[in-house]
Amino acid sequence: MNKKILNLAVPNIISNITVPFLGLVDLTLLGHLNSEIYIGAIAVGTIIFNIIYWGFSFLRMGTSGFTAQAIGKKNFEEISLIFSRAMLIAFLGSLLLIVLQKPIALISFSILNASPEVETLASEYFYIRIWAAPATIGLYVLYGWFIGMQNAKSPMIIAILVNLLNIIFDVIFINVFDMKSSGAALGTVLAQYIGFGSGLFIFFKYYFKKLKPYLIIKKIFVLKDIKKFLNVNKDIFIRTMCLLFVLSFFTAESAKNGNLILAVNTLLLQFFTLYSYLIDGFAYAGEALVGKYTGARNTFQLKKVIKLLFIWGASISLIFTLAYIFGGNIILHILTNNEAVIQQSTKYIFWIGMIPFITFAAFLWDGIYIGAIASTYLRNSMIIASFLIFLPLYYLLKTSLGNNSLWFAFIMFMFFRGFLLSIFAKKAIFKPL
């Protein structure tokens, strides 16, 4: 079982680690320019696209869970229909985003309330990157479907390609053509479309011929089945929007404290992002294997894979805790040479050392619940952690602790997500079997 977990987790880790690495490159390139407003512009622009695209991440998670269970049941017709319906929803959703880009931008910038200098650059970034919507959302479907098919290597290849190209384009557009934040956006657009085309090539080369006999076109458009797909995924959508609310709130409150604190918190969040994408590799393995064993109704293997996932998660979190405690300042100096930002960051860096061990359970349970399609419990735990833990703690402590209250509330938010999902597990995961 460990081999199965690692065969899925390691490629996903490699895939995921390229994403925060790209963010680190963006921040490093812009962090070495002559002002912190470029870091702030990327932070504001990124949080807007997190809200937009992560709102569609149910297509990745839902597609993964449904496909993995269909694999467990050996239902090839359902496998082909899941892919087709998810792609249909991705196309319609991305088209809607492009049509509504101006009102989306106006609402987003009014909520985030950044300084005029940051908003100007972030606006340039937004109106370029929005054109990557069809490719970005389409990649969610491809990644989720490949993972559900127990194939982690294809998403790894695509992710490496996308992020390597994105880095190359960033260097060219930012350093050579001096395009700054707009160059970062253009690089993302080009890389996303190349990656999406590569993913479709893999699908048609290795899967389409095998699944074509099971695909009945008219069944794709059966409204009852589409509605069922969306109804199951609405809980994942609500869960994701709560997470995005917390992250958006975190950035918005940082921006209210000035460009320096915004830059500091943005840099420190990269530590969380780096860890989260690595531990998510094991969560994705959980999606694939838990979904497969749930579909096959194999309780023994299901319990075994969950136990081993938590052993791996605890081990990795311990390594990251030690790395952040002893190497945090070194990482800060790699990210930026802005002494004001570095000096201010050292006041809050002790929070970073607490993140890995406190939060790993939340990440692993997410993957397990998605594989089991126990979406209601994911939704409920996220609502409780967001609005009954995070917000009350922040508002109670912000006057006395300042920026520290934001970090404490965030860490407690992650802890209670894992704690609640642990409590719900018996009823949500094992009882249905």
Q: Could you identify the residue written with the tokens 């869970």? A: 65
**Is the four-CA dihedral 159, 165, 169, 170 of positive or negative sign?**
positive
Q: How far apart are CA 78 and CA 68, in angstroms?
A: 11
Q: What is the pLDDT of residues 72-94, one digit of tens each?
A: 888 898 899 999 999 999 999 99
The alpha carbon torsion through 222, 232, 87, 189 (nearest 10 deg) reads: 150
pLDDT mean over 247-262: 82
Burial 291-312 (b: 16+ CB within 10 A, else e): bbbbbeeeeebbebbbebbbeb
Rounded Cα gap, residues 362 and 310, in angstroms? 11
| Rg of the Cα atoms in the chain | 21
Least confident of 32-41, 55-64, 343-352: 32-41
Among 31-40, 127-136, 203-212, the least confident range: 31-40
- Per-domain residue ranges of the chain: 2-430
Compute the C-alpha angle 243/244/246, nearest 5°: 65
Interval 100-137: pLDDT, tens: 999 998 888 888 777 777 778 788 888 998 999 999 99
Alpha helices in 296-338 (DSSP H): 299-335
Nearest to 385 by CA among 366, 403, 372, 404: 366
In order, the DSSP letters of 334-381 are: HH---HHHHHHHTTTGGGGGGHHHHHHHHHHHHHHHHHTT-HHHHHHH
Q: Please state, in angstroms and rounded to a whole number, the distance separating the CA atoms of residues 291 and 55.
A: 22
pTM, whole model, 2 decimals?
Answer: 0.82
